[in-house]
Amino acid sequence: MSPLDRNDFPVGFRIETSESGDSRSIESFGELDSGNCDELLEAFERAVSGDGPVEVSLDLRGVSFIDSSGMRTMIQIERIANERGIPLVLVPPPDQVTELLRTAGIAERMNVPASADAGLLGPDFSDRVDLELEREPYAPSLARAEVREALAGRLDEDDISTVVLLTSELVTNAVIHPKVPDKRNMALRFWVYDRGVRVEVEDPGNGFDPGNRTSSSRHGGRGLFLVDRCAMSWGARRTADERGPRFCVWFEFLGGGRAGAAVS
C-alpha cells in the first residue's frame, strides 16, 4: 500500500481574514486540531503585525471541533493579545464546542460568552424545528405553514402573523437571490421560546454584508427592511459545508413587538 498523502483527505479547516480600518477579523471553519492550529496562530500574528493599534475579532462560529492543541493555540493568542494590549473579541463556537472549552477551563480564561446561536432570547427554548426545503417557488408557502403550526397557541395572532411574514420574506430571498449552478436546498430552522422565537434561513451562496445597507437592499429589498423594523434583533453569517459556501440570515422576535437593529 502506498503512503497516504495530505491530498488524499478532504480539506477540513480553513481561515478567512478581513480588515476594516483598525479592526481585523479572523474567521475559522471546520475542525481545529494539531494539524492546522499553527495556521490560526499565524493568521493572528499577521493581523497584529502592524505598528498601529488594532482590535481583533476571532470568530469561531464555523468551528465544529477543537482538540487540546487548538485549545493551547487559543491560550497563546489570548496571552499575546494581553501582553500587547490588543483588544480581542471572541465570537464563540457552537454550543457543543463551547461546552468542551468550559470543561477544559478555557472558556473562563478567555471570557468565552454563551454561544452566538443562543441569541438574546437565551438557550432555554421549548421547541426546535429543522427543515430542508427545495429552492422552489412553493418554499415560502411551506415555510409559512410550518411556522404557523409551531407557534399556534404560543404567541398571539398578531405576533404570529409578523413572524410568518418575516420568515416568508427570508425564504423568498433564499429562493431568488443565490447564484449557484444547481438547486441545492436551503435550511429553515426555528427555536420557540416562552416569550418569542428565533428563525434562521440558510441558503447556498456567498450572501451579503449585513452592515452594508446598499448591498442588503440589492439582496433583500423590502424583506430585510421589514425584518429590521419588526424583529428584536437580526443578523447574518457565512458558513460552509461539503457542498460549498453557505449564508444564513436570522432574526429574533419577542412577543409584544419590540423593534431592534441589525447585528453581525
Return left, alpha or beta for 111; rule: phi > 0 is left, psi -120 to 50 is alpha, else beta. left
**Intra-chain end-to-end CA distance of the chain, in Å:** 49
Best mean pLDDT range from 40-44, 54-58, 206-210 = 40-44
pLDDT confidence of residue 209: 55
pLDDT confidence tier of residue 170, bands split at 50, 70 and 90: very high
pLDDT at 233 over 90: no
What is d(CA 124, CA 108) in angstroms, rounded to the nearest whole number? 21
Instruction: Pick 177 or 154 by higher pLDDT.
Output: 154
Q: All domains of the chain, ordered by start, with CATH?
A: 6-115 (3.30.750.24), 127-262 (3.30.565.10)
pLDDT confidence of residue 98: 82
Average pLDDT over residues 180-199: 83
Cell digits for 201?
434561513
pLDDT confidence of residue 225: 84
pLDDT confidence tier of residue 86, bands split at 50, 70 and 90: confident
Residue 46: other Cβ atoms inside 10 A: 12
Strands in 196-204's sheet, in edge-to-edge order, are 127-133, 186-192, 196-204, 244-254, 233-241, 261-262
Dihedral in degrees, nearest 10, Cα atoms 21, 205, 141, 131 = -100
pLDDT confidence tier of residue 261, bands split at 50, 70 and 90: very low
In angstroms, how far is CA 182 from the centroid of its own chain?
Answer: 23
Q: In this structure, which amino acid lies at residue 133?
A: L
For the chain, the average pLDDT equals 79
Contact present, 244 and 215 (Cβ < 8 Å): no
pLDDT in tens, 124-146: 678 888 899 988 889 999 999 99
Residue 161: other Cβ atoms inside 10 A: 13
pLDDT confidence tier of residue 26, bands split at 50, 70 and 90: very high
In angstroms, how far is CA 183 from the centroid of its own chain?
Answer: 22
What percent of the chain is predicted at pLDDT more than 70?
75
* Crossing angle of helices 157-176 and 222-230, rounded to 10°: 150
pLDDT at 215 over 50: no
Average pLDDT over residues 8-12: 47
